[in-house]
Amino acid sequence: MKKNVGNLDRILRIVVGLALLLGFFLSPGASLRWLYLIGIIPLVTGLMSSCPLYSIFGINTCKK
């Protein structure tokens, strides 16, 4: 996959992803706890520097 996620965008995705996953592990009694697993998506796209939705819509936040 082609890189289309810039540095600031990448850092924000990783931080948000980790925060959501941390919420999953810190709230074992929450009724909708599984929603925190959505954090996997920004974490993976941040680590890979590639976002499939950005490719579909033609967005690129990388500096050329």
Q: What is the pLDDT of residues 5-62, one digit of tens each?
A: 999 999 999 999 999 999 999 999 989 999 999 999 999 999 999 999 999 999 999 9
**Inter-residue contact 36 to 27 (CB < 8 Å):** yes
**Inter-residue contact 50 to 1 (CB < 8 Å):** yes
* Mean pLDDT, the chain, whole residue set: 95
| Tens-digit pLDDT profile for residues 42-55 | 999 999 999 999 99
Q: 30 by DSSP, 3-state: which?
A: coil
Nearest residue to 63 via CA among 15, 10, 16, 14? 10
Tally Cβ neighbours within 10 Å of residue 61: 15
Taking the model in full, what pTM does it have?
A: 0.90
What is the rounded distance in angstroms from the CA atom of residue 46 to the CA atom of residue 19?
Answer: 13
